[in-house]
Structure 1
Amino acid sequence: MHNHYQVLIIGGGSAGIMVASQLIEQKKQTNVAIIEPADTHYYQPAWTLVGAGTYNYDKTSRPMAEVMPEKAIWIQDSATGFDPDNNTVFTAQSGEVTYDYLVVAPGLAYDLDLVPGLGEALGQGVVCSNYTDPRHTWEVIKNFKGGTALFTQPTTPIKCGGAPQKIMYLAESHWAKSAVSAKTDIVFATAGTIIFGVKPIAETLMEVVNRKDINLRFGYQLKKVDGPNRIAWYAFADHMKEHNHKDVEIEKDGDLTGIHFDMLHTAPPSVAPEFVQTSTLVNQAGWLDVNKNTLQHSNYKNIFGLGDVAGLPTAKTGAAIRKQVPIVVDNIDLLINHDRMGAKSYNGYSSCPLVTDYGKMVLAEFDYENNFTPDPKLRQMLISDSSKEHWRLWMLKKYILPYLYWNKMMKGLDV
């Protein structure tokens, strides 16, 4: 049996479902298939709130069958490789699947081997990650009795670059309600040189950091984790600046600097899924090689890519996907019907809702140039400056965005 589809989509995450839904609902395309092995679809933006004990984990998931567009064909299987010259995708069980147009949106994968020791330590004891198990993060934060609380991130691109900070701000808020905060040093160790790449947002976050007395250590590249001895080892550029110094326990091992911790939160090192990395479709950095404005593959005109797998110089967020989807949908529809591309161009828009306290949030919205680009729709929510902390932005994060996600975005409606 030969499986051929006009549009084949790899990935049933935000990007894949939204592309399929919009092609079917808005463009009336009838021959759309999605390759996705998972039974469950997660709304991951809420995992920050789960990790801080203020959102129910069970409400972050729905059965994949519920979010799959009814008129799409769901191939419940894993993609394993490509033969782009013959318009073919290989799968684990379903054999070869061929297509007229291919959309590659499988998201990213975690490669814990990039930080030796992290795989053994993660999810055990006091080493946690909202990215992998936000319920465990909440246990760690709730049971923390003081000492050095180390928040860090790997040197790879990650989902939502601001997420490793958000949980730190919420943890500080939680601890501030008890005696724990008096005997706690909060350290944020990052390979970066600034707290955030968008100037008005960075200014607000520095105020938050000062209010919460958080020690920022820039230029710290996470190299390995010693779970049993609770030490995170970094390569450190000595000339880098530090902010709100805390006298935490440090050791040296050759060129490496070790920070002793009593709890550690990190994002896992992230890479493109292996079947993408080993294909001919990636750039030198190992991410899907697409045009940053049209999202069309650099070498194959009938392949498009978007979402976390795409090698785009912007943050990997659901908000970016929301702006990428209509461009991919428009281009594919016009290619099918008129053999030409559309005029829409993706400007690198992404956004990171930076929760700074229970009940407070800043919304970092930006483009390829790191310009602050607030969405005019927020004005309707009576938020005049989303670079400042606001409770209405917290309401947006906790209630409005999840509602819009499940009820509008997943169903192919414009938001």
Structure 2
Amino acid sequence: MNDTGTARADGTMLPDGGVMARAPGVASTAIARVRATPLNITATFDLPGHRKESSLSLVLVEVETAEGVVGHGITAITEEEPVAAAINEVAAHALVGMDALAHEAVWDRLYWLLSPRGQTGYATHAIAALDLALWDLKGKVLGQPVWRLLGGARPRVPVYVTFGFASMDRDALADAARHWIAERGATRLKMVVGHHAMQRRDEPRPILDVLREDLARVRAVRDAAGPDVPIYVDANCSLDPYHARWIAERIADLNIGFFEEPLMENDPAQLATLRSQVRVPLAAGQNEGLLHRFRALVAAGAVDVLQPNVAIGGGFTQCLKAAGLAAAFNQPIANGGAWTHHNMHLHAGLANGGLVEYHHLAVLVTERLFGPLPRPEKGWITLPETPGLGFSPDPDALRDLACAPTSRGKGKA
């Protein structure tokens, strides 16, 4: 065995190469090609009383083995160009020759290559997309859906529908809530509050004015949905502790399932203090890049629900560990941050899996790339039995979307 750190042609393991020995006649799973495509995909809401075009950034990653097996992964809710560049210009060259099934070896190499000092941000998005592609590829090699490879705990998962966006006024929110419940069988609903208040405080835009309107909006949805449908609210890390407490205290009697990411930066100490002051359950974690951030949230007693997101927080390989951390502390997990059809595999695979977010805009965007995807029925999504993730990009759609002009103002609904 040599110590060059590069894969041998026969597939035997090198000290740091992550390449598994293969018996004669066994197909090679050595990585031969990696490619990332940056996309900004538009979609049109068309709900009663509300029609609007919006867009989300997305990076599609394709990993191919020497035998021609291809896996696909994504990452999103970030600038697509630097993530794609990090993959194409840096990560891809380091991964060629590694074993596509050696998730731990690949993940560790990517961490030291992309994140040793920055610790999160674009690098972790890149790792997430690559990791998802490798698990998709693994499922295809082994002939199993990813959720079964992750543990196969259940064949379907409960979902909540994220439908209530900043562009909708009170009447549109109420109409849409009634539509989702009566026409599409939704049993749980989520809406945004805060509306990037800290980020936009210099407009001027008094935060209390924003929150007074938010209170009226949540009440409008509660009146439309009736008393029994849980409503979840999400501030997208946009408030300070005072204003988060202000709105949490006033919505506490409205059957709120949880208040997601109320505070800027998901500050663990401030979240723990807020949690001790309000009756509404708190949730966070979808935007955390590395495992130590999940540990900090749990150790501080900061949240009621931990929210690893496989398309943002390091893929399945890291989110399995975050879910294990939650299980060790008997803490529920749920999907926040969208990308239903990737995250559903994690929650179906694990015994402590929880709610999955069916984010209306994100689903519309992913269906433009992948075609029709599983949809909820009476609050549940059934997992596919197809090997891998169960869906692949439509080549014609990918070609058209990759050629479309990039739009700014991303991720705003």
Query: What interval of TM-score do these two structures reach, taking the shorter chain for normalisation?
Result: under 0.3
Task: Report the TM-score, using the length of structure 2 for normalisation.
Answer: 0.25
Structure number with higher helix proportion: 2
Task: Report the TM-score, using the length of structure 1 for normalisation.
Answer: 0.25
Structure number with higher strand proportion: 1
